[in-house]
Amino acid sequence: MPVFSFFSEKTCPIRKKIRKFVGFKPTNDIILAMILSMTGFGKAVKLLNHKKITVEVKSLNSKQLDAQVKLPQSYRSVELEIRGRLAQQLQRGKVDVFITSENADGVVPMSMNIEQLKLYKQQIDEMSCALGLPQPTDWYNTLLRLPDVWRNEQNGDEVGDEELAAVLQATDESLSQLLEFRAQEGRRLEQFFEEKIAAIQQLFGEVEPYETSRLERIKERIIDGLTKLESVEYDKNRLEQELIFYIEKLDITEEKIRLQNHINYFLETLHATEPGQGKKLGFITQEMGREINTMGSKANQAELQQVVVRMKDQLEQIKEQVLNVL
């Protein structure tokens, strides 16, 4: 289920700052959805019939759902059910699930595998006769150190429905904790994105003063260069036409309009009611980067290029963190 944030401008001042920059004026009853992080951790423990069942779930960012489930052989019958719940509730991320079962009092019941011990002794006797080697002087030490001679009675194949139900219940509880963790990280990411978008918007506002004087400086520089060439005659009307064409190529009005639209769309997507906006936010940041880069290539002015570099720095920080958004 999607998680919602009901933060007002009083409890979240950064939103007021954002709306001031982009001219966004929501009504009092608007509900802003909260994004979710793909990073999370949850743990649940169930006690049943002197058994302690522990389920741990952790998730990291990933383009798709990549789930790894490690559990005792006796619980394999519920693995598909667990994977289904992971897909339904987590959607995306690299998810690792660890399920263990141990005796509640810390004592693990063990028994000797007598049949395996008989087989080991028979093979050692045959090897001794075939190779002419002496028999071991300490049979206990020799046999008990071999693999699979001890059997864990707790991890037998027979598991009741009640125990399997406890495993699923512990899985649900650990997933609930993980989702809560994701929501907490999502609130942090949401505030981070709003701060960075506000910084980009503020830098974007610094472009306009340079834009007013930039084209005039370019035009004056070209004309001054021509006046220094005293032996060269040129058609002033043709020069004016070429200047207009050249200045149009350096004009960044369209880039500014598109960048503002991308900023507005980023905030709209950030506060959308539908869950799973991470990929869309990533696509929007790519488009924002394209417009900022174009502005830098057309700038032809050191001061404006410095503003563009600072905008790119803020955007790169957004790109790094948007990978963690569900």
The total of other beta-carbon atoms located within 10 Å of residue 258's CB is: 16
Q: How many domains in the chain? A: 3
CATH number at residue 75: 3.30.230
Same domain, yes or no: 251 and 232 = yes
13, part of any domain: no
Same domain, yes or no: 198 and 315 = yes
What is the arithmetic mean of pLDDT over 3-26?
39
- The pLDDT tens digits for 75-133 are 888 999 999 999 988 888 999 999 988 876 666 667 788 888 889 889 988 898 988 88
pLDDT at 106: 61
Same domain, yes or no: 49 and 124 = no
Same domain, yes or no: 62 and 95 = yes
The total of other beta-carbon atoms located within 10 Å of residue 162's CB is: 9
**Quick one: the chain helix, strand, coil %, rounded to 5?**
60, 15, 25
pLDDT at 108: 62
195, part of any domain: yes
- The pLDDT tens digits for 289-319 are 999 988 888 777 778 888 889 999 999 999 9
Supply φ then ψ for residue 3, to 5 degrees.
Answer: -105, 135
CA dist 2 to 9, 183, 186, Å? Answer: 22, 10, 12
137, part of any domain: yes
Would you place residue 56 in the very low, low, confident or very high pLDDT band (cuts 50, 70, 90)?
Answer: very high
Residue 172 has pLDDT above 80, yes or no: yes
29, part of any domain: no
| CA nearest neighbour of 170 among 56, 51, 50 | 56
3-state secondary structure of 163: helix
Euclidean distance between CA atoms 87 and 49, whole angstroms: 30
Same domain, yes or no: 208 and 262 = yes
What residue numbers bound the domain in which 143 lies? Answer: 114-148
Averaged confidence pLDDT in the chain: 79
| Percentage of the chain modeled with pLDDT above 90 | 30
255, part of any domain: yes
226, part of any domain: yes
- The pLDDT tens digits for 156-170 are 556 788 889 999 999
Would you place residue 205 in the very low, low, confident or very high pLDDT band (cuts 50, 70, 90)?
Answer: confident
Same domain, yes or no: 47 and 65 = yes
pTM listed for this prediction: 0.65
pLDDT at 264: 93
**Phi-psi region for residue 300, left (φ > 0), alpha (ψ -120 to 50) or beta?**
left
